[in-house]
Structure 1
């Protein structure tokens, strides 16, 4: 019997009580995302036009401009061909500097739509409304590319059909997963059951990789928070310069409103730029202008009020202290990884080489490098999204270089992750190599519970491999933590098995001499 993905009693139905086809519901849900996201942009443009913010725009021009902004917000590149008489040094180019703040609008709407679709589906049926909705969204993008193209700014219908799927497909899938909490229910494949049938080492590897990926995500999120904090501090510190730019432009209330809305759309881009600056990689605001704490190559920048907060060409020596901020993001990730208790690379190395003074530093160093690599790749993707071109003059290069950010941020997070993992036990107020000190009935927490389960599994495998009964049948309490858990199982019986075996490793298993005496016969190990 198929189980339903969500807790809703049945798929959605129309007024007559007939269930709505899933493909049709996908079309309606994601189609409404396209319509609502366009109407929000259109409403903003119409407000500027009605306030006399642009006399030459007109009603038809408002619809066209809204469509072009909608396509750009959906990461669709636009081809620009301006009249040389407009006073611009370049006549052709590509506009692909995506306003990530506007991209969050269809992403959030698709998130909600994906959750509703997941609640309307049974297990393994999510692909039907998902793919049908994406097909309609792709068609809407192609139509927008055809309708909203002008002689000056236009989008290829092929690009307009493909690129809008990026934020919508991702948002719908993440929203569906958050609503169902069941990846097998969405894709129809129970990966967890397959993992359970694999070996212990395979399960360890899967848990370790998943924990590393999440730790890298924690570091990336912390890094974006660092960038947002630096951006807010820079805007507050240079607030007078920002106001002076508004006054020099003299666009009036409607123009200032439109300009502020434009800057809000690019606010996430500026946060990514601030993060790239804090890492030391820096960013560019036009060809020949590079901003970095290691040195700033000043050049002419556009008259945009937010750019008045750019660092000056001459920076004090203490400004290099910002390089510590990404390291602190790595410390947070390393501490989080320690609390997860999934460092199975350290477990595997300890099985092969009992010398902890070698295995612990080596495993910690490799784990830090992996966490730094994951965090660097995630921030590199953000840098690529925030990087782009305005297609005119010098403004063909705006934003950080993704590879530079990968190297700088990845290395800094790796150093911080190693420090966070090593210092984590002191932050948790326990020695770094302390064994479990639990007593019967005490709550061990997630980390202690997983450690105890691994000890139980190792003990059962030991009994089966030795041809003896399970500890539970012999009267032993494998699952009970014991104050003597710090003693190694090898110490309970020297020479019982080679030191490199899997059962000889777990130092946290409760197998003291008194507990073994309760079972039949002398101590097993």
Structure 2
């Protein structure tokens, strides 16, 4: 009697059963043989996955570097466990927790580590966590607790470090969870609730935020292309720094990973170059489109990709036009989502695009700036407030231009105003002509008015006792005064005069 597993059992170990198990929908094969129960359990498991994955990305290369160093230096007795706390502190720095060293307190956030952490949470949310509100908050709380435990395990007992760990962990968790759950393959109740909440937001604010994010994304792409151009132009300098360091293979790989962790910081600083203010890498330095002032810097290969002094001035002064182009893209994205709107609403809509993109840029520059080490590296980055204002003004201008050029409501308002101005001008011209015409008519009326009494006087019989000479002279003078509008009175027959006498 065959006591083996049935062939139709999806958990069977036979090849056919394994194939059928892999072909099942994703929601039925996430955790084979494990009933997750309530949705909040999936939130806990997903957060733990994200913590382990993102921490391993930083810790494993550090362990490999330590093992390689111990293999080459026989006198070194410290094991690979000494590299784990250092890597964990770098992982916490990626979450915004300051790193205290003997020489300085590093506050510059390696955005590459932050991006890896957000990506880990996103993937875990899409594959493990159920899209419900309870699972969302449970996953966020679990992730924050995990970051706090890592901080305590590495000896980070300073109040600022603990508070920064909690805030940074919460921001990373909410970004990754929100992105993963709202765009996942299996929409849940959370997606419907989010859509209902977004539908309550006024249309102007909703499309303004969409345009701001679009402008910030275009600006990020432009900054990435500029960073790639800098790396290609300064590749010879980067190679010279690597050759002078004389590193072995393991150290070169480790250094390359470390450079990738801060490469997004250089891309963010490229935004400051595009917007015009520029940035600094060391006290007394300036890297901007107007001019470049460099100074002695540490032997770090990535610093060889900084702009050369010859890149300042000339055509580089037109770099802020690219930020205006990003604003045009943001305004186009906003106007495509707008059905109808009052013509003057284009001004606040362009303002929302500019302020939103400026705020996003200011936050990113604030994270990418700070203290990167002792000495000259104590001043790296730019002012986030000033840069955010510049980006807001430039992107807002671009959004306003495209809105004025594409909105039919604006065109209709301009046409109506033009017709009103032309109609008012025609009315004013007619009013100027009317007084002259009225004067001629009044003169005619005066003449006719003068002739009318004469006509009546001439047509009336002279009173008794009035001489013929007086009557005749009165008739003659009145006829002479009247114009062509009044005909002269007929002469009085002599017979009637004689009869009266």
TM-score, normalized by length of structure 1?
A: 0.66
Q: How many residues align?
A: 386
Matches within 5 A, 1:129-278: 129-149=135-155, 156-179=161-184, 185=190, 191=196, 195=200, 206-278=202-274
Determine the C-alpha separation between the residues in 2 that align with 1:60 and 1:326.
Answer: 47
Q: Tell me if 1:78 matches 2:71.
A: no
CA contact (8 A) 1:127 1:187 kept: no
Q: How far apart are residue 316 of structure 1 and its match? A: 3.6
Determine the C-alpha separation between the residues in 2 that align with 1:379 and 1:338.
Answer: 22
What does the per-residue CA deviation read over 1:3-50, in whole Å, with 9 as the maximum and x for residues that have no partner?
xxxx9888987737x552333222111011111211222221122223
- The residue aligned with 1:331 is 328
- The residue aligned with 2:111 is 100
Q: Which has the larger radius of gyration?
A: 2
Determine the C-alpha separation between the residues in 1 that align with 2:336 and 2:39.
Answer: 42
- The residue aligned with 1:290 is 286
Q: How far apart are residue 424 of structure 1 and its match? A: 4.5
Matches within 5 A, 1:435-474: none
Q: Which residues of structure 2 form unaligned runs of 5+?
A: 1-24, 417-501
SS in 2 for 1:179: coil
Q: 1:42 aligns with which of 56, 59, 65?
A: 59
- The residue aligned with 1:371 is 353
- The residue aligned with 2:37 is 20
Determine the C-alpha separation between the residues in 2 that align with 1:183 and 1:209.
Answer: 26
Q: 1:318 aligns with which of 315, 320, 328?
A: 315
Q: How far apart are residue 226 of structure 1 and its match? A: 0.8
- The residue aligned with 1:69 is 90
- The residue aligned with 1:518 is none
Determine the C-alpha separation between the residues in 1 that align with 2:224 and 2:138.
Answer: 37
Q: Tell me if 1:401 matches 2:383.
A: yes
CA contact (8 A) 2:36 2:42 kept: no
SS in 2 for 1:287: coil
Whose helix fraction is larger, Structure 1's or Structure 2's? 2
What does the per-residue CA deviation read over 1:150-171, in whole Å, with 9 as the maximum and x for residues that have no partner?
89x9984454344322212221
CA contact (8 A) 1:208 1:342 kept: no
Determine the C-alpha separation between the residues in 1 that align with 2:190 and 2:159.
Answer: 41
Q: Tell me if 1:392 matches 2:392.
A: no
Determine the C-alpha separation between the residues in 2 that align with 1:181 and 1:232.
Answer: 37
Q: Which residues of structure 1 form unaligned runs of 5+?
A: 1-6, 83-90, 196-202, 347-358, 436-485, 488-525
TM-score, normalized by length of structure 2?
A: 0.69
SS in 2 for 1:344: coil
SS in 2 for 1:266: helix
Q: How far apart are residue 278 of structure 1 and its match? A: 0.9
Determine the C-alpha separation between the residues in 2 that align with 1:432 and 1:150.
Answer: 58
CA contact (8 A) 2:331 2:399 kept: yes
CA contact (8 A) 1:331 1:417 kept: yes
Q: How far apart are residue 418 of structure 1 and its match? A: 2.2
- The residue aligned with 1:33 is 50
